Chain A
Amino acid sequence: MSDTGIGARVARKEDHRFITGNGRYTDDINLPKQAYAYFLRSPHAHAEIKKIDTKKAQKADGVLGVFTGDDTSADGIGGLICGWMIHSKDGSPMKAGPHPVLAQGKVRYVGDHVAVVVAETYQQAKSAAELINVSYKELDAVVETAKAQSRGAPKVHDEAARNTIFEWELGDKAATDAAFDKAAHVTKLDIVNNRLIPNAIEPRAAIGSYDRGEDHFTLYTTSQNPHVARLVIAAFVGVAPEHKLRVIAPDVGGGFGSKIFIYAEEVVCLWASKKIGGRPVKWTGERSESFMADAHGRDHVTKAELALDGEGKILGLRAKTIANLGAYMSTFSSSVPTYLYATLLSGQYNIANIYCEVDAVYTNTAPVDAYRGAGRPEATFVVERLVETAAREMNIDPAELRRRNFVKEFPHQTPVIMCYDAGDYDASLDKALELADYSGFDARRKSSEKKGKLRGIGFSNYIEACGIAPSAAVGSLGAGVGLWESAEVRVNPTGNVEILTGSHSHGQGHETTFAQLVSDRLGIGIDQVQIVHGDTDKVQFGMGTYGSRSGAVGMTAIDKALDKIEAKAKKVAAHMMEASEGDIEFKEGSFTVKGTDKAMAFGEVALAAYVAHYAPTDDFEPGLKEGAFHDPSNFTFPAGCHICEVEIDPDTGVTEIVNWTAVDDFGTVINPMIVEGQVHGGIAQGVGQALTEGCVYDTDSGQLLTGSYMDYCMPRAGDLPSFQLGFTETKCPSNPLGLKGCGEAGAIAAPAALMNAITDAVGVNDIAMPASPQTVWQAVQSASSKQAAE
C-alpha cells in the first residue's frame, strides 16, 4: 500500500477550501445582472384556486415579473415526472396525477408552489408576493398514512381512486401462508416508520441563466446528479433541449437523497430567466421552505409477522405496508417502498418464504422520496425488530437466534429478487459481540439497576443492496434510466491527471478517494490528480451519487478507464523504448522492458504520447485520454452488526446511549478515515430517526407543525455518544476493486438497534419512534403498572 493509495488514511484534498471559507456553494455564486425569485406557497393543505390576482404585485418596486401556472403551461412547460414505473398486482400501471411546477387550479400541500415573483432584490420579491391575492376554496385534507385509503377520504388526485397509487406485491403468497400455517411460533408487530425531513444544512438553491445570444441555458443547482436533472428538464419538462442546457452542481452542502430530485424551483428559475429577457434568476431556499417543500423520507405503516419453528428457525415473513408518497410523486418515489424495500426483507437470514404487499398512497403532505437508505432502513427495521422480538418471546438469546438463521453460503438467492454474492455475517456478529463486551452486559445492567436506571441492549444485523444496478435488471423492474456510471481519464502532457466522473461529491470525499485509486494505479501522488464532477459541459454524462453507488459503480468506471490508459501508455512506451508491447511492464509509475534495465517514468510516457514523435499510425493515435462506462453485473451487499446499549432514567424517560458498536463489511475500504466518517454520520441520522426526529402534520388541517429547528429536533452533539467501530471484509465479487459502499449503512442499521435497546430496557415489545422522553416515560409507566397488576 502506498502512502496515498487504496487503504491509506489520508486527509482530504478538498478540505482546504472548506476550512478557509473558500467553498463555492450555489448561493455563493452571483452572476452579473442577477435577479431574485421568491415563491408564493400554499398556506392550505388542500384547496381549489379560484383566482390569482397578481396586478398589485406586478407594479410593486423592483418587480420584473410575476408568474403562475397559467404562464408556465402557456409556454408548454411540462410537469415533473416520477421515473420509475410500478405496476399493481392486477397488472395496471401506477396511477400518477399531474405534478405541475406551479399549481394548476389546485394546491395539494402546505408549501405547494402557487406563483413566483422575480425582482431586483430578494426582499422586493418577497414583499411583492404579499400583494398577490389568491382566492382559495379550502377543501378537506387527507393527512394520515393509515387513513388515506378510507372510504370518504378527500381525494388528492382524480387519477387515483382511494388515493391509491398502486397496490404492489412481491413474493409467493401461497407458499408464505403455508409456512405460517406450520409455524410453532409467530411474532407480530405493528410498525410505524416515522416520517423524516432530510435537512441537509445547505438549503436548496438555484440560479437559472438564459443566454440570448447563444439561445442557451445554464442552471446552477444544489444537485446530487446534474446530468439526470438536465435529462429530465430537457426531455420531460421541456425548458430547453439537452444540448442547449448546461447544469452545474458546484459544492453541495449535503444531500442525503433530498437533492437527487428535480424540483419546481430550479425549473422555474431557468424558465423565468428567459421570460425576463435573459437576466439570471436566483432562488435560495429558506429553511422553512426546506421543511415544507424538500422531499421528505420514510413514512410507512406496516403490519409484519415472522413465522418460526420450535428451534427458532425462521420459516417465513409477511408484511403489509402502506407507504405515504405525499401530494405528488417525486422523481424516484415509487421505487423506494417497492424495489428498495421489499427486496431486502430477507435481511441476513435464510428465509424460504417471504411475501410483501405495499400500497402507495397520496396525501396532502409534501412529496416523499429517497432519504439516506431509502427503503432499506424501513426493511431493516421490520426484519430486525421482528427477529429481536421473536428472540425475546421464545426466550432465545437474540444473537443466537440470528446466528441460527444466517445465510452462510454464497451466492444466496433470496425469494425476493436479490442474490447475495458475498458476506460473512457470523464474523461481523462475533466481532461486534467482542467489541461491545456482550458477555459483560448482565453485570452492567445490574449496576445500572443499583443506580435506579434501566439498561437495555439491542442488535441490528442489517443488509443493504447498493449500486442499484445492473441497468437491465432495474429496467425490467420499471426504472426509466440505466444505473451505470461513466468516467474519463485525461492524462496531461506533463503527467498529471484529470478524472472526469459522473458521480457527484457532496461530502463523501470523492476528490480524495478517487485520487487514491489513481495514485494506486498510476504511481503518482494524489496531489497530481484533479477530480472533475458536477458540470454537464465538462463531464459527458453520469448518473450521480445516491444509493452508496459512487465507489462500487463510479470508481469501477474510473478503474476501467485506467485499464485503457495503461494499455495505451504501454504502446507508447514500447515505441519509445523500441521493445515489443508484450515486454512492457508497468509498476509503481514506471514502464520497464522485461529483462532489460530500460525504464520510462509515467510522466515521460505521457509527454511522449502528446509529442507524438514516435510516428503514430491510423490505429495508434497521439494523446492519452480514455473513457469508460461501467454497468455492474449485480447490486453490492454491504452488511454488518450494530449493537446499541442504552440507559434510561425511569423518572424522566430520558434515554442515554451509553455504547454504540458498529462492525461493518464494506468490502475493500479505500480510505478508512472517510469510511468511518460515513458510518458516524449514518448512525447519527438513524439515531435522529429513533430518538429525536419526526415530521408532524396537524391531522385535520394538514399544517406542518414541525416546520423549523424549533420544532423538528435535529440530533445535537449532546444527543450522541462517540462510536466504537470495527470492520470485517469480504470482497465484492462483482467489481474488480471489491467495493460494496458505505454511505447509508449507519442510517439503515441504527434505528432498529436503538429501538431494540430501548424496548429491552423498558421491557415492552414496541415503543413508537421518535422515542422522546415523554414517549419512553409513558411506556415505563404502563410497563410498571402492568407488572404490578401481574
Chain B
Amino acid sequence: MPTVSMKVNGDTVSGEVEGRTLLVEFLRDTLGLTGTHVGCDTSQCGACVVHVDGKAVKACTALALACEGQSVTTIEGLAKNGALHPMQEAFRENHGLQCGFCTPGMIMSAVDIVKRNGKKVKEATIRAELDGNICRCTGYHNIVKAIQDGASKM
C-alpha cells in the first residue's frame, strides 16, 4: 500500500493508505481524529468539512493520496494554545449547535465563509453559502447568528 504524508493541525503525519482511502477515513481511522464526521455518502451534508491549504474541502470527497504534501486543519486544530477560535466561541454563545454532529463541519465552513466574505457578511450570504452543510437540529437560525457573531470577532 502507498504511503501518504501531509501536515495535519501543524504536525507532519504519514500513513499507509489504499488508493481508494478518503481523506476523512485517513483522518478518522488512521489518525484517530474523530472530530471530522461522516453524515452522508453523496458529499452533501458537510459534516466532514476540513481546511486543505486554507480552503474548505469536504473530506469525504478528497482521496487521502491527493492531499500528499498539503496542510490540513481539522476541528481539533482550530483552537490555538488552548484558546477557542472566535467561531467556536460564537457557536457556543449563540446556541448554534444541538446534537453536535454537524457542528465541526459547520464551524469549518463558517470560518471559510467569513474568510471569503469578510467580517460583515450578510445573513442572506451566509444562508446561501451554507447550502453544502445540513443541520437537522437547529433550523439554522442560531447557526446564522453564530456565524455573524463569530465573523465580527475573527
Contacts and interface: CB of A to CB of B under 8 A. Distances in A.
Contact of A254 (B95, B136, B143, B144): B136
A723 B88 contact: no
Given A23-B100, A28-B34, A720 B139 contact: yes
Decide if the interface of chain B is mainly helix, strand, loop or mixed: loop
Interface in A8-59: 11-12, 14-25, 27-28
Contacts of B34: 21, 24-25, 27-28
Contacts of A251: 99-100
Contact of B134 (A19, A674, A681, A714): A714
A709 B139 CA distance: 17
Contacts of A15: 91-92, 97, 100
Interface string B69-101: 000001110110000100010011101011111
Contacts of A685: 136, 139
Given A23-B100, A723-B141, A199 B92 contact: no
B38 interface: yes
A12 B92 contact: yes
A203 B39 contact: yes
A682 B138 CA distance: 8
A673 interface: yes
Question: Interface centre among B28, B102, B137, B142, by most A CB within 10 Å?
Answer: B137
Contacts of B104: 18-19, 21
Contact of A717 (B45, B93, B130): B130
B135 interface: yes
B51 interface: no
A778 interface: no
B95 A674 contact: yes
A87 interface: no
B131 interface: yes
A287 B45 contact: yes
Contacts of A506: 99
A417 interface: no
A525 B20 CA distance: 50
A710 B44 CA distance: 8
Nearest to B97: A18
Interface in B95-154: 95, 97-104, 107, 123, 126-128, 130-131, 133-145
Contacts of B131: 716-718
Interface string A503-517: 000111100000000
A708 B145 CA distance: 29
Contact of A201 (B35, B75, B99, B145): B99
A508 B145 CA distance: 19
A288 B41 contact: yes
B97 A199 contact: no
A286 interface: yes
Nearest to A21: B35
Contacts of A202: 37, 39, 99, 101
B76 A710 contact: no
Contacts, number: 177
Q: Which of A256, A509, A680, A714 has the most CB of B within 10 A?
A: A680
Contacts of A23: 35, 100-101
Name the residue in B33, B36, B100, B133 with the highest tally of chain A Cβ atoms < 10 Å from its Cβ.
B100
Contacts of B139: 680-685, 720, 723, 746
Contacts of A14: 100
A709 B140 contact: no
B137 A507 contact: yes
Contact of A27 (B18, B38, B97, B98): B38
Interface in A99-142: 123
Given A19-B92, A286-B41, A200 B99 contact: yes
B33 A720 contact: no
Contact of B75 (A20, A27, A676): A20
B88 A708 contact: no
A256 B136 contact: yes
Given A21-B36, A717-B126, A722-B141, A201 B98 contact: no
B66 interface: no
B42 A710 contact: yes
A205 to B, nearest CB: 10
A677 interface: yes
B99 A253 contact: yes
A11 B141 contact: no
B41 A708 contact: yes
Interface string A141-180: 0000000000000000000000000000000000000000
A739 B35 CA distance: 35
A432 interface: no
Contacts of B141: 677, 680, 720, 722-723
A509 B98 contact: yes
A16 B44 contact: no
Nearest to B147: A717
B131 to A, nearest CB: 5
Contacts of B13: none
B95 A12 contact: yes
A751 to B, nearest CB: 14
Nearest to B145: A722
Given A21-B104, A508-B98, A720-B139, A16 B92 contact: yes
A19 B93 contact: no
A96 interface: no
B99 A254 contact: yes
B146 to A, nearest CB: 10
B136 A681 contact: yes
Nearest to B123: A722
B57 interface: no
Given A22-B35, A256-B136, A714-B134, A708 B40 contact: yes
B134 A201 contact: yes
Contact of A287 (B40, B79, B99): B40
Nearest to B21: A123
Contacts of A737: none
A346 to B, nearest CB: 28
Nearest to B18: A123
Contacts of A295: none
Contacts of B37: 25, 201-202, 253
Contacts of B93: 11
Contact of A20 (B36, B41, B84): B84
Nearest to B131: A716
A427 to B, nearest CB: 24
A19 B136 contact: no
A328 B25 CA distance: 34
Contacts of A12: 92, 95
A569 interface: no
Interface in A706-758: 708-710, 714, 716-718, 720, 722-723, 746
B47 interface: yes
Contacts of A256: 136
B136 A199 contact: yes
15 contacts: A15-B91, A17-B100, A19-B88, A20-B75, A22-B35, A27-B38, A201-B47, A201-B101, A202-B39, A202-B99, A203-B38, A710-B42, A717-B135, A718-B130, A722-B123
Given A19-B91, A253-B39, 7 more contacts: A19-B84, A19-B97, A20-B35, A123-B20, A200-B136, A677-B98, A680-B139
Interface of A: 11-12, 14-25, 27-28, 123, 199-203, 251-254, 256, 284, 286-288, 506-509, 673-674, 676-677, 680-685, 708-710, 714, 716-718, 720, 722-723, 746
- Please give me the 5 A-B residue pairs with the lowest Cβ-Cβ distance, nearest first: A21-B35, A253-B101, A18-B100, A684-B139, A507-B99
